[in-house]
Structure 1
């Protein structure tokens, strides 16, 4: 691949969803909202519905326009004390209402099946999926979730609002979509838009490498996490997209190339979870394989 071909490839890779794709994505969110709002079991129930993931953060790549939507129960609150203890004497009452994780998921599944007959699957361990339809809406992943708060001080003065998900596998997952959105937008502003461009470039590279059979499929969020940890000054280096993306790959390789070295300080974009700590869905070896294969594909 010569310099011109590489630059042309990267221009395609960094492009966000087209206006047509955005319209489909927006329509998907409206349709899920209408399905939930019309379902009798949810009358009078406190909940929020919002887009999350690549669609919400504008890091999804062109022609890859699936939508992640959370339906979040606010009838009960899950919480945790992080690196601190609950204040002595605090009295709390456990939730005794009807909205268990299994009931919440079951009613959301029923509401979606009523709205999208024959197009909904609840077999996934985390999300309920709705198939793409006639080019008018993309694939949709609907995630049943609950309100969650992480307290970083015993008096609750330091808190982080998030979302708790209960996969069918039995292990709960905590996410912080608001923090991811806010911090990602700030980093993108500091880097003149290069942060999200290079996230899309790495996601596009992964799509290509998986299609070619070069690497195994990786979660889209993983590529966003990797680029998040690249310093702003590195993202800003290089006169054009090719030189800039090359700097990103070099920085990542320099920090994951040692097989015996494990990064412990890298964060997810939300700034509240570490990337390579126990229980992660990815490893430094995944990063090594992706970065090396991307470098070789672009023939740097």
Structure 2
């Protein structure tokens, strides 16, 4: 028994954004007006589902990136020694680096939210939920530059820009490309006649229900993982009714080789980081099929 179209339409709707926008503006204004941070050159921007317009009802944490531009993290791994040396000529080691910046951002957040129980996470400074705001993760980071070899003999090396941070709890670096992720999502949404982002929300919404009904375990598929998974589905599988789109997308995913799937940024491979596994992806796809085939027969009413 297929899931009714009106249920899929409900799942397709974007969650509220007013509270997230208000909190983001409060954080941005606080950082840019902080006396300690004013001399520094940095950018503040959203990333994740609120930035990508794929947030659903019940999404909470707002991800706010604070990227220092006075220093950057280079990646020369694709260059030969000569090109690398030519880029490094004239560069100097930063005297104000990520640990300094994170400390100052953390102190600025504490000054701006004096009545909140601000805590330090591995990758972010955490503003908890209160009666006046939803929670937020403030992520201090550096600009990341992945240098590419010159395209011609006399050409210059170029780079792809991302963000780089250090997970202080797990003790390892994290790189990502939020700008490319946003741009690629917008482009795919346009190529699918504005069907991509509603479909992402449809696929995100029933996770809690599937956990409650024993189809998957909690944490099997994050919002980011689902969005990246669907990014790899060919554009022609999106369109028509929501029911047609869900069937076409799930059918394609179920028969696909997931090995070379990429993140929505188009740069990183989806399963290389170890944060998500093909096994969990297959479990999630299988749960979608089971939910679709048995809807209304033996499971509880959907929770939204």
The alignment status of 1:170 with 2:143, answered yes or no, reads: no
- Structure 1 stretches of 4+ with a deviation exceeding 6 A read none
Partner of 1:141: helix, strand, or coil? Answer: strand
Say if 1:185 and 1:288 are closer, same or farther in 2 by CA, change over 3 A.
Answer: same
Alignment of 1:272-291 (within 5 A): 272-277=267-272, 279-291=273-285
Do the aligned residues in 1 keep the contact of 2:76 with 2:84 (CA within 8 Å)? no
Alignment of 1:234-253 (within 5 A): 234-236=237-239, 239-253=240-254
- Distance, in Å, in 2 between the alignment partners of 1:45 and 1:65 is 30
- Distance, in Å, in 2 between the alignment partners of 1:146 and 1:89 is 22
Deviation at 1:123, TM superposition (A): 3.4
Say if 1:153 and 1:229 are closer, same or farther in 2 by CA, change over 3 A.
Answer: same
1:271 is aligned to 266
Q: Which moved more, 1:5-14 or 1:160-169?
A: 5-14
Partner of 1:42: helix, strand, or coil? Answer: coil
Do the aligned residues in 2 keep the contact of 1:78 with 1:146 (CA within 8 Å)? yes
Deviation at 1:37, TM superposition (A): 2.1
Do the aligned residues in 2 keep the contact of 1:35 with 1:112 (CA within 8 Å)? yes
Per-residue CA deviations over 1:10-66 (Å, capped at 9, x if unaligned) read 11211112xxx3221111111111221232221211000001111111111123243
2:198 is aligned to 197
Alignment of 1:214-229 (within 5 A): 214-217=216-219, 218-229=221-232
Say if 1:200 and 1:156 are closer, same or farther in 2 by CA, change over 3 A.
Answer: farther
Partner of 2:172: helix, strand, or coil? Answer: coil
- Distance, in Å, in 2 between the alignment partners of 1:269 and 1:81 is 23
Say if 1:252 and 1:88 are closer, same or farther in 2 by CA, change over 3 A.
Answer: closer
2:96 is aligned to 98
Partner of 1:146: helix, strand, or coil? Answer: strand
TM-score by length of 1: 0.87
Deviation at 1:292, TM superposition (A): 1.1
2:301 is aligned to none
TM-score by length of 2: 0.86
Partner of 2:200: helix, strand, or coil? Answer: helix
RMSD: 2.0
1:32 is aligned to 27
Unaligned segments of structure 1, at least 5 residues: 257-262
Unaligned segments of structure 2, at least 5 residues: 295-304
Higher relative contact order (CA 8 A, sep 6+): 2
- Distance, in Å, in 1 between the alignment partners of 2:25 and 2:248 is 40
Q: Pick one of 115, 135, 144 that aligns with 2:140.
A: 144
1:259 is aligned to none
1:15 is aligned to 13
Q: Which moved more, 1:169-178 or 1:80-89?
A: 80-89
